[in-house]
Homo-oligomer: A and B are copies of this chain.
Amino acid sequence: MIFARVVGTVVSTNKEPKLVGKKLLLVQPVEPAGTAKGAPLVAVDAVGSGEGEFVLLVQGSSARQTTATEGNPVDCTIVAIVDTVEQGGKTVFEKSKDPAQR
């Protein structure tokens, strides 16, 4: 899994039938400390996350192993909202102190 920041939304009225009713979020992959890394992706959300949140993405066939995405043409799913990341004994991310979230 990789870290990402939810940065927006994607709207499509003409989409594959299995995607109807699924919210498509724009997510920016980031390093644990928050630096953007690579191009934004579009993910389906399995945990009720919202814009600004720091999340975990699962990719590939594993992206279809959630109730929200089973059997769907989806290769990127948000499976967790991150509370804290500890690296080398230091807290490098803490949701309650995250300036991006109000």
By a CB distance below 8 angstroms, the chain B residues around A72 are 62, 65
How many angstroms between the C-alpha atoms of A18 and B77 in the bound complex? 13
Chain copies in complex: 5
Main secondary structure of the interface of A (DSSP, over half): mixed
Interface residues, chain A, with chain B CB atoms under 8 Å away: 1-3, 7-19, 24, 26, 31-32, 37, 39-43, 46-49, 56, 58-67, 71-77, 79-88, 92
Task: Give me 11 A-to-B residue pairs in the complex whose CB atoms sit less than 8 angstroms apart, sorted by A's number.
Answer: A1-B41, A10-B84, A10-B86, A11-B84, A14-B48, A14-B83, A15-B56, A15-B80, A18-B65, A19-B79, A31-B40
16 new A-B contacts at CB < 8 Å, known A1-B76, A11-B83, A60-B60: A1-B24, A10-B85, A11-B82, A11-B86, A14-B47, A15-B79, A15-B80, A18-B66, A31-B40, A40-B87, A59-B75, A60-B61, A60-B75, A62-B72, A62-B74, A63-B75
